Structure 1
């Protein structure tokens, strides 16, 4: 990922958010907030990758340390928090798997002990992808109402990298 990708990355987030199906927010974070996060994260060599098709950014993955994301770490052990987006027209073509493989390999090089994520129980293709990479169900979270009005339930999943 490069800082020059920020506008395309913001458009990707906006498109996936607008679907109202996979993210809890109806809109992406403000572009300046995303730019600041990217400027902060790039020098740290964190796992951040994009997928391009014919010069168009169509997918992204990032795995940030929980402490970097403001996630409470009760155990004191920092871990990676995964986020991934793929444009609807490009899902089911293996992009998510290639992004995941690259990001997890990078995590291993950084000696990250584990990666966690939250996924909606209705997002079966994503759950199958995560399970293919050995992520395991950790816990169900409280039910939510998605931007499209549909009720769903998020679940946490974890991958131990040791």
Structure 2
């Protein structure tokens, strides 16, 4: 019984084509793993940075502003719970799509440390500034800066994604 071992070997052209396809698949997987957040999550994060200073300012207001302080606190806690659930959903979708868990430790420290430090200080500081001055401009200013930071970071991720191989 004779076997033809060479009959199943690809030609050099077929081998080059298969390698090119493999490189294309690798590039696609790399781009997929660098994909920025879904647009709904970018909008949700931006909404959180708009709402949080206003809710906190209402909760800290002396005297009450627009509605009772307890209503501001309940609204703020409920909203943050929704944002937390949406973050969990986005993280699960990200893992299902890429096979990689979300990790904040891979963000560049030169951008992450100031953002994770200054944004909470800005939000809390605006709430206290509103409490002591009674001017809601502090809250709206903090909301605008938070929204700009959120939109800017999402645009940055999109730019990084486009540069990915």
TM-score normalised by L of structure 2: 0.26
Higher strand content, 1 or 2? 1
More contact order relative to length (CA 8 Å, sep ≥ 6): 2
TM-score normalised by L of structure 1: 0.26
Larger Rg: 2
